[in-house]
Amino acid sequence: MVYIYSWMNHYLKMIQSKVNYSFITLFLLAWSGVIFARSGLYDSGIFKFIIKFPLSFPNSLINVKFISAPYHPLICPKTGRLDYSCLLSEDKENGWKMHDGFMIELLQLIWNIIYDFNSIKQVEAPINKQAYDLYNFNLTNFLLRAH
């Protein structure tokens, strides 16, 4: 029962927000979406993704997987999994905690990884180190791989 209440609470908050996303389809345990990139490093890209809620939700991180994965420091090139854990702020005493606005923040984060690379420069251990190094030290080669 707690699971359903928590999920519905996040769903209602997302609907009430003005999150900048392209398209989201909602099911109880999995949401699918697509981002149509219209500018930036991934201009003209179309990126499909799935958000899966674990059975332990809201006590564990939600799985985000790109079906059509961009070449990106936070996306595993083999599985398409988005590792956003490095961008979450963590309470030093209690660890990571789900909060009411988390789904809105997660959708905005997914959008931001396509359009805004500023936060990625601070990542210590990216899941795709090659993409991270190319972006930071050889942007020309990164752009060739990204398109």
pLDDT for res 24: 55
pLDDT in tens, 45-55: 999 999 998 87
Question: pTM (2 decimals)?
Answer: 0.76
Residues of the chain with pLDDT under 50: 1-5, 92
According to CATH, the superfamily of the domain at 2-146 is Ubiquitin Conjugating Enzyme (3.10.110.10)
CA distances from 75 to 31, 100, 132, 137 (A): 18, 25, 10, 18
Q: Which tens digit of pLDDT belongs to each residue from 77-105?
A: 999 999 988 877 665 455 556 666 677 78
Q: What is the pLDDT of residue 96?
A: 55
